[in-house]
Structure 1
Amino acid sequence: MTPPLFAVATDGGLDAFEGLNNAVPVAPFSLNFGNKSYRMDEITREGLYRELQTNPAHPTSSQPTPQDWAEADREASGGTLPVLALTISSGLSGSRNAAEQARAVVPGIPVTIVDTRTLSAAQAFQVHAAATAAQRGETLETALDWVRRTAEETELYFTIETLEYLRRGGRIGRVQATLGGLLNLKPVITVDRTTAAYTNVGRARSYKGAIEAVAAQVTGRYGEGTPLRVGLLYGSVREDADVLLEAIKARHPVVWSGFAGVNPVLNVHTGPRALGVAAAPGNWVWER
């Protein structure tokens, strides 16, 4: 096997899938409950749900520091390789700015930064593309092409039981405007390709209806019968992801599927019960 010509790092916007090449160094986000602070790898999803139920302080999240990014870059590089760093959408976090600042902390490591303009499972797809290129000994230019093409064909849709957590976190934006404050509706949300921030693309009156609405968005984007790769996401109710997968399978051949729990930092903005999917057509771009 050809030795890698570069390494890959990412940040805590990633929801990693066991079936993908997602095991790369991560610049972590942090969770803050009043005076208590956790790095995202120091609290489980179950621990988060306990805190949400018992802690009167509403949690906030903190982006990785430049030092966090520098540590991830060093770990990825091993002191020898250039690094391809993929960040959560700059429309949702300042992580990219921290990654830029980290270059001054590790001047001996060439770092190429890519704003994924998404997060979670869709970020996982881009990390998989980059890491696969690295493992195969491809050039950085090839990896950037694979990441770009993966980004262009991948969509992320999710729904949540309540908008309260997005509202408290200040990330509701156009979602709130579109719903006109009718917080009893269940939104279907995506990341706008122009602003790289959340936008609402659908709604339902029940959570069951919202799951169907997410599946309908996938079909509307790719066309019924199109073979798909799908990365399913779930919050406090794992079975929700199974229901969504079956709804998608009723409309599409599924050539790959995986499941991941929404990480605690992202889950704090969605609220405990959340459900999502990253979808893309057919095989991976390097398999065509």
Structure 2
Amino acid sequence: MSIQIVTDSTVQLTEEELADLPITVVPLIVRLGDKEYLNDGKDITNVEILSHLTGDEELPKTSQPSIGQFLDVFNDIGDAGDEVLCLNLTHHLSGTVNAARQAADISETKVTVIDSLSIDRGLAFQVITAAKMAKNHAPLENIINAIDLHRQNTEIYVFLNTLENLIKGGRLSRTAGGIANLLHIKVVAELKDGALQVAAKGRGKRFLNKQIDELVSRIQLLSPAKVGLTHVDNLTQASEIANRIHESLPNTEVTIHEAGPVISTYTGLGALAVEFYTD
């Protein structure tokens, strides 16, 4: 019996990582009007969602995978004689992990479900390590300990042009950080203990650029093992940051990703996430 890793589609993985590692991704759902799409990179693409963020009267709506989606995956893995370690995005942003837990209770497969308290490339750091260890037949206890270490040493910052989408989507309260009447200010949000918090706010691009410069300088001092940059139609800035980190930290792995439809819906155009893990 081997351990198979299951996660959800808010994870940010490369095609190579998916091809090389024992990972199954269960997609969340995106709704545009009366139509539903799987957030699987195929049903609706990262590029296709962009026009809906600005051109539609209402924001796209998202929902967690159904219990049945998880149950089918868990049962298929169990039928093959394997067990499951399921890692999901933080419960503060979605009920996905609870759906996975309910499916685990129903399935006859041995399933361990973990709340990553993370999302996007931060979730990927945990998933990749778990999958590599599982591929090398590490015991479940050792994998869980490694995941815990990642959770304690991962930082995620999101640079936003507006909080409007997060507030409309219910992922941030209107009173958080004293921004009730300041929807159009620039914001730096931090994922702390699994919840999004306003870390800094100001006006104009100069404010955001200053905050990014300070974070890049901090990364250069910390010399993390891995850095992930996820953007919503903001490749130019993501590439500039990646180049700056590469110049000073040639041994640090830096990856650039387009945000998927679910994350784009809540962050809005021009958003940029900087995520890193220190050993």
TM-score (norm 2): 0.88
Amino acid in the other structure paired with 1:273: G
The letter for the 2-side match of 1:87 is N
Aligned ranges 1:13-32 → 2 under 5 Å: 13-18=10-15, 20=17, 24-32=23-31
C-alpha distance 147-124 of structure 1, shift in aligned 2 (>3 A): same
Does structure 2 retain, via aligned residues, the 8 Å contact 1:188–1:203? yes
Gaps in structure 2 of 5+ consecutive residues? none
- Aligned residue in 1 for 2:262: 265
Partner amino acid, structure 2, of 1:118: S
Q: Report what 1:243 is aligned to.
A: 240
Q: What letter matches 1:79 in structure 2?
A: A
Distance 1:201 1:119 in 2: 18
- 8 Å CA contact 2:78–2:110 kept in 1: the answer is no
Displacement after TM superposition at 1:31 (Å): 0.8
Change (3 A) 1:80 1:236: same
Deviations 1:169-210 (A, max 9, x none): 0112277434353233211111121xx211011234334542
Please state whether the residue corresponding to 1:173 is helix, strand or coil.
Answer: coil
Distance 1:137 1:23, change over 3 A: closer
1:160/1:273 contact within 8 Å kept: yes
Uncovered stretches (5+) of structure 1, i.e. residues with no partner: 283-288
Question: What is the correspondence of 1:187-206 to structure 2 with a 5 Å cutoff?
Answer: 187-193=187-193, 196-206=194-204
Deviations 1:103-147 (A, max 9, x none): 24422x110011000101100100011101111111111111111
Residue 153 of structure 2 corresponds to 153
- Larger deviation, residues 248-257 vs 96-105: 248-257
Please tell me the root mean square deviation across aligned C-alpha atoms, in Å.
Answer: 2.5
Q: Residue 174 of structure 1 contacts residue 199 of structure 1 at CA under 8 Å; is this kept in 2?
A: no
SS in 2 for 1:239: helix
1:277 and 2:274 aligned? yes
CA distance in 2, matches of 1:72, 1:214: 40
- Contact 2:231 / 2:238 at 8 angstroms: preserved in 1? yes
Is the 8 Å Cα contact of residues 91 and 197 (structure 1) preserved in structure 2?
Answer: yes
CA distance, structure 1, for counterparts of residue 95 and residue 122 of structure 2: 18
Match of 1:55 in 2: 56
Q: Does 1:255 align with 2:256?
A: no
Match of 1:36 in 2: 35
- 2:223 pairs, out of 226, 233, 236, with 226
Tell me the alpha carbon deviations over residues 214-240 of structure 1, each in whole angstroms, 9 at most, x when there is no partner.
4524655x6725344201111112112
Distance change >3 Å, CA 104–CA 48, structure 1 → 2 = same
1:246 positional shift? 3.7
Greater Cα offset, 197-206 or 115-124: 197-206
Q: Distance in 2 between matches of 1:47 and 1:187?
A: 25
- Cα distance in 2 between the residues matched to 1:179 and 1:228: 34
Change in 2 beyond 3 A, CA 1:225/1:166: closer
Structure 1 CA distance for aligned equivalents of residues 28 and 88 of structure 2: 12
CA distance in 2, matches of 1:225, 1:52: 35
